[in-house]
Structures are given as C-alpha cells and as structure tokens.
C-alpha cells in the first residue's frame, strides 16, 4: 500500500513536471496563433509600395502589362513614347519584393509586369523561354510536369523571372554562381522602343548591364533560361558549433559526390547568438522524384498543417527570447525526428514568401544580405554578434549560403567565391525604428567591406554613397553606360535617385 502511494506521488510529480515543461511552449504557440491576424493596411489609392511597407509613394499611374492582349509590345512602345513626350519616368515592377523603392518613381508610370507571364519549353535544348513577369511558382508548375526544375533561383518561389535576373539573385544551389550564369539570352525594350536580343555573343555589354541592372536599361521582355532535371535528394543534417562548421564542411561534405543544395541556419537566441548552426546538405538520391500532381494523386498528406505550424513557430520567435529558443529546439531537435529525409528539388524550391511574412501593423520584416570571402567569414560572424546586440532591431533569422564567382554581370557582388549571410530583422514602423536600422545597416556594411566583402542591393537604401562605391567599384562606369543606353533617363527608380549620378540624399526607400 505504501509502495503504491509512493509510485502515485512519483507519477503525479512527473506528470506535473511534464505539464510545466510543455505548458509554456503550448501556451506561447497558442498565443502567437491567436494574435496572428493580418493587420496590414491597404496601400493608399494612387500609391505604390514594396515588400518593406515603408515606401508608399504617389505615382502618376500603374500600367498592368498583360500577355494575352493583342500587340502588347506595340502598346509598350506607345507607352514609352508618351512617357518621353510628357517627361515622365518609367519604373518597372515584378512582384515588388525588393525593399528600397527599386520599383517606384514618384509621380512616374509604374509598369506592373506580373501579367506578362507566358512560357514554353524547348525539351531538346533544355531551355525555358519565359516572359519576364512569370513567377517561379508558375515556372515550377510547368517544369515539374516534365521532370525538370529551375537551375538557379532564390529560396522562395514568389518572385518574377524579370525581377530575379534584374537583381541577379542567387539561392542555395551548391557550387553555383548567381542566376545570370543560367541565362542564355533575353530580349529587352530600350527607351526609344527598340527591342534587342542580348546574350554572351550578341549585345554582350547590354547583357551584362541589364542582368543585375535594376530595371535601369530597359524592359526585359522574355528570357531563355537553362533548366535542369528535377531530382530526389536525401538530407544530411547536422547541428554544429559555428567554429567547427567550415572545417566539417571542407572535410566531410564539400568533396562528397552528389551535393546539390546547401544552406545553414544559425541560432539567433540572444544568450547563444550565432554560436551554433544547423547545416542542411542535400545529396542526389537514386529514387525517382514524383511530380507535384503525382504526389497529390497518391493522397500524400497536404503540407498545409505543417506550413501553419512552421509559421506559428517562426512568428512566435519575433520579439521573444523564449520563442527564439523554442524555434531553435524545434528545428535542431524535433524537426529531424518528424520530417522526411527525402525531398524533390521542386518541393524544396516551391515555397511562397507568404508562409513566413510579417502581417502586423506596427512592425515590418527587413532583409539584409552580406557576401564575405571565405577567409573573413568567422571574423564577420563575430562583428555581426557585436553590432546586432548594440541595436534595437530584432534579429529573427540568419541563413548562410555559398555563391560561386559571377562572370556575367557588370555590377557584381560575387566577384569571387563568397559565403553569404542572409539576415532578417523585425523593425518598428516608426522613426526611431528606421533610425536604428540605418545605423545598424551601415555598421554591418562596414564590417563586410572591411573583410573584403559586399552587401546585396535589392534591400533598403541605407548604405551611404561612399559605401555603395566601395562595394561596387564599377558603379561609376555602370551609370555612365546607363547614360549611353538611356540618355533621357527614362527608366528610373529610388535606387537610381539615391546612388545615380545626381544624388537625391533622401529618396523614399
Ligand atoms: C522574403 C524574401 C526572400 C528573398 N530571398 C532571396 C534569396 O534567397 N536570394 C536572393 O538572391 N534574393 C532574395 N530576395 C530578394 C529578391 O530576389 C529580389 O527582391 C527580387 O528582385 C524579387 O523579385 P521581384 O519580382 O519581386 O522583383 P521586383 O522587386 O519587382 O523588382 C526588382 C528589380 O527588378 C527590376 N525589374 C523587374 N522586372 C523587370 C523587367 N521585366 N525588366 C527590367 N527590370 C525589371 C525592377 O525595376 C527592380 O529594380 C528575397 C526577398 C524577399 C522579400
């Protein structure tokens, strides 16, 4: 009898302890889910904004370019003629996920390219011919049905092809340069309405200027892109201290055959900031990848519930040290036990940004990216740790990738092999939030430049002109060449106003 009582007490104690241990995470996630409402206010009539939600600007008008209307190219020619004669500027927009007003010009004409999205596949030559407004999401749908995939793209599928090549994006495809290396050719409409084809052989200078050219040279109409097989990958996931990660990568991963995709995610819990990372390496596996349609027919569980859980864990880490440590535990310990070990390439690439986006009224998510030569990577992490802890903005995510040398674009960030650090901050949408972000961004840019690195251009325009020039030593020539191709400066945006020949010290963005 007495033994029973002791056992009951022990069980009650263990049960109580278990409740205490799981109560806090469950309560935290339940609260996050409850508060996760879409509070974003609609963009004011006659204005445009971008993914920063800090750039609302009145414009003359927005022209939606549609592929299904007749003679659309002739319509574009007329539109450029009208802009030239009325002295208006033209800014070009894809999905508007850049954050510095790169798609915006005050009182200008905004070309919304997102309806310009037809495509066809040349199976014999493994090339996709795609109009510039198509998003990766649409591209993957077509490629997947043919057992194919995108060669190089970002980590999400919400972006347009035109916006992606105009910033020269990169992703976590291992051992690959940025996207320009997978572009065979494109057609571009210049300021006078002429359409020219550009490739490494034809109009090669314009090819290198418009790739990563931020819409300053003309309207990219359509693009011929390399495509690759959709493969099945097996994940090799390890939790490592940041100090040992590069060594493990060199000794154990980089030389292994079949390494196709690679990224790491760093711990952002304040007490252990950037001390550890989860290294995710994807190796080609021998199985046959199912198509997206095939997976649905087989009745595979929908990813919906998993995506929602992922969102709640992620958003619950905003503004909460507990949420950050919960997310780290979930991703470093729980996820390897519950998630599958094989993935198709297309499943990895086919995820929209909306799954993780910030929907609150008072804050916004701001991306940064720094490229550092490998020998400076450890020192950069130390500098980031110091800088970030001295500022208000909340560091929500850091992923690390590797990018090979870019041989194609004029305004290049990867002029050698680089390790890239993508950082996501939550910023208050008010003056002090902005001031703090400006200061911190400049410190982070200096840290990268001092180590021979660069920073990425599609985000906020906080870099000083001097920092911009240091990071992009060919920028003066870039703008001289813009003046040759577009003497009337028809194509403009906030990026051009900030760093172009005539500086506007404070354009929105
Ligand atoms: C959540 C998130 C995740 C991201 N992840 C990555 C990543 O993994 N890797 C990476 O490299 N980047 C990443 N980015 C940055 C992203 O690649 C760029 O912002 C890209 O430009 C987005 O494409 P878009 O269609 O939204 O372009 P937009 O923002 O609409 O346009 C970007 C630039 O391209 C120009 N442009 C657009 N279409 C045309 C056209 N048809 N002709 C000429 N110029 C044109 C615009 O004028 C503008 O200057 C990310 C951004 C966000 C918000």
Contact 168 CB / ligand 1 (< 6 Å): no
Which is higher by pLDDT, 333 or 500? 500
How far is 420 from 380, CA to CA, in rounded Å? 11
Is 508 contained in some domain?
no
Cβ atoms 468, 479 nearer than 8 A: no
Same domain, 213 and 238: no
Same domain, 482 and 378: no
Same domain, 123 and 236: no
Chain segment 104-155, per-residue pLDDT in tens: 999 999 999 999 999 999 999 999 999 999 999 999 999 999 999 999 999 9
Q: What is the CATH number of the domain that holds 93?
A: 3.30.465.10
Work out the burial of residue 5: count CB atoms within 10 Å of its CB; fewer than 13 is exposed, 13-18 middle, 19 or more buried.
exposed
Split into its structural domains, the chain has a count of: 2
**Three-class SS of residue 34?**
helix
Judged against a pLDDT cut of 80, whether residue 299 lies above it is answered with: no
Is 337 contained in some domain?
yes
Is 36 contained in some domain?
no
> Hey, whose CA ends up nearest to atom 19 of ligand 1?
98
Contact 100 CB / ligand 1 (< 6 Å): no
Alpha helix stretches (DSSP H) within 134-187: 136-145, 161-167
Same domain, 210 and 331: no
Is 102 contained in some domain?
yes
Mean pLDDT of 317-327: 96
Contact 492 CB / ligand 1 (< 6 Å): no
User: Which ligand 1 atom is at minimum distance from the Cα of 424?
Assistant: 1
Contact 93 CB / ligand 1 (< 6 Å): yes
Closest C-alpha among 158, 107, 165, 109 to residue 508: 107
pLDDT at 15: 78
Interacting residues of 387 by C-beta distance below 8 A, sequence separation 6+:
440, 443, 444, 447
Same domain, 340 and 459: yes
Is 38 contained in some domain?
no
Same domain, 63 and 159: yes
Q: Could you give the angle at the alpha carbon of 339 between the alpha carbons of 338 and 341, nearest 5°? A: 125
Is 504 contained in some domain?
no
**What's the domain range around 238?**
232-463
Q: How far is the CA of 506 from the centre of ligand 1 (A)?
A: 22
Q: How far is the CA of 331 from the centre of ligand 1 (A)?
A: 28
Same domain, 269 and 311: yes
Closest C-alpha among 176, 174, 376, 372 to residue 255: 174
Same domain, 89 and 197: yes
What is residue 41's DSSP assignment? P
Same domain, 238 and 225: no
Residue 465: in which H helix or E strand, if any? helix 465-471
CA 238 → CA 171, 245, 383, distances in Å?
A: 20, 9, 24
User: Which ligand 1 atom is at minimum distance from the Cα of 113?
Assistant: 41
Judged against a pLDDT cut of 50, whether residue 76 lies above it is answered with: yes
Contact 214 CB / ligand 1 (< 6 Å): yes
Chain segment 213-233, per-residue pLDDT in tens: 999 999 999 999 999 999 999
Contact 458 CB / ligand 1 (< 6 Å): yes
User: Which ligand 1 atom is at minimum distance from the Cα of 168?
Assistant: 11
> Hey, whose CA ends up nearest to atom 12 of ligand 1?
169
Contact 507 CB / ligand 1 (< 6 Å): no
CA 334 → CA 167, 288, 330, 337, distances in Å?
A: 36, 27, 5, 5
Same domain, 117 and 205: yes
How far is 91 from 163, CA to CA, in rounded Å? 12
Same domain, 487 and 390: no
Q: What is the CATH number of the domain that holds 251?
A: 3.30.70.2520
Decide the pairing of beta strands 47-48 and 57-58.
antiparallel
Residue 293: in which H helix or E strand, if any? helix 292-297
Same domain, 213 and 239: no
Is 31 contained in some domain?
no
Give the pLDDT band (50/70/90) at residue 301: very low
Mean pLDDT of 459-487: 98
How far is 147 from 346, CA to CA, in rounded Å? 9
Instruction: Please report, rounded to a whole number, the percentage of residues in the chain having pLDDT higher than 70.
Output: 96
How far is 331 from 306, CA to CA, in rounded Å? 13
Contact 59 CB / ligand 1 (< 6 Å): no
Among 3-17, 367-381, 472-486, which stretch is predicted with the lowest mean pLDDT?
Answer: 3-17
Among 114, 162, 355, 421, residue to substitute to test ligand 1 (most atoms within 8 Å of Cβ): 162
């Amino acid at each position: 009898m007495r033994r029973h009582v002791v056992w009951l007490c022990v069980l009650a104690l263990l049960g109580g302890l278990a409740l205490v241990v799981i109560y806090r995470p469950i309560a935290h996630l339940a609260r996050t889910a409850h508060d996760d409402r879409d509070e974003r206010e609609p963009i004011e009539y006659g204005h445009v904004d971008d993914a920063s939600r800090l750039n609302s600007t009145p414009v003359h008008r927005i022209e939606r370019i549609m592929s299904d209307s007749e003679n659309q190219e002739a319509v574009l020619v007329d539109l450029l003629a009208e802009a030239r004669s009325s002295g208006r500027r033209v800014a070009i927009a894809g999905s508007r996920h850049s954050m510095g007003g790169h798609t915006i010009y005050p009182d200008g004409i905004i070309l919304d390219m997102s309806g310009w999205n037809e495509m066809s596949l040349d199976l014999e030559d493994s090339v996709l011919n795609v109009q510039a407004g198509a998003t990766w999401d649409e591209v993957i749908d077509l490629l997947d049905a043919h057992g194919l995939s995108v060669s190089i793209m970002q980590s999400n599928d919400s972006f347009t092809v035109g916006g992606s090549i105009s910033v020269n994006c990169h992703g976590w495809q291992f051992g690959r340069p940025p996207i320009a290396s997978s572009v065979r050719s494109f057609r571009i409409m210049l300021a006078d309405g002429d359409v020219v084809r550009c490739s490494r052989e034809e109009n090669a200078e314009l090819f290198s200027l418009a790739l990563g050219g931020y819409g300053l040279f003309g309207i990219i109409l359509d693009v011929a892109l390399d495509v690759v097989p959709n493969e099945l990958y097996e994940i090799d996931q390890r939790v490592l201290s940041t100090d040992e990660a590069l060594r493990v990568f060199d000794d154990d991963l980089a030389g292994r055959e079949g390494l196709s995709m690679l990224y790491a995610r760093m711990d952002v819990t304040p007490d252990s900031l950037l001390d550890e990372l989860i290294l995710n390496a994807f190796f080609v596996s021998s199985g046959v990848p199912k198509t997206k349609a095939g997976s649905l027919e087989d009745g595979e569980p929908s990813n919906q519930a998993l995506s929602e859980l992922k969102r709640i864990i992620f958003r619950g880490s905003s503004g909460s040290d507990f949420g950050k440590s919960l997310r780290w535990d979930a991703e470093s310990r729980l996820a390897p036990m519950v998630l599958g070990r094989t993935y198709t390439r297309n499943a990895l690439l086919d995820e929209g940004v909306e799954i993780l986006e910030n929907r609150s009224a008072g804050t916004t998510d701001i991306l940064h990216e720094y490229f550092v030569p490998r020998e400076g990577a450890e020192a950069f992490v130390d500098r980031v740790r110091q800088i970030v802890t001295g500022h208000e903005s909340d560091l929500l995510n850091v992923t690390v990738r590797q990018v090979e040398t870019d041989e194609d674009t004029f305004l290049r960030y990867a002029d050698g092999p680089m390790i890239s650090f993508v950082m996501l901050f939550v910023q208050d949408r008010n003056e002090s939030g902005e001031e703090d972000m400006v200061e911190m961004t400049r410190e982070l840019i200096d840290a990268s430049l001092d180590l021979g690195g660069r920073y990425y251009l599609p985000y906020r325009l906080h870099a000083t002109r001097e920092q911009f020039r240091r990071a992009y030593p060919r920028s003066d020539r870039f703008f001289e060449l813009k003046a040759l191709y577009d003497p009337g400066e028809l194509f403009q945006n906030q990026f051009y106003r900030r760093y172009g020949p005539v500086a506007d010290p404070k354009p929105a963005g």
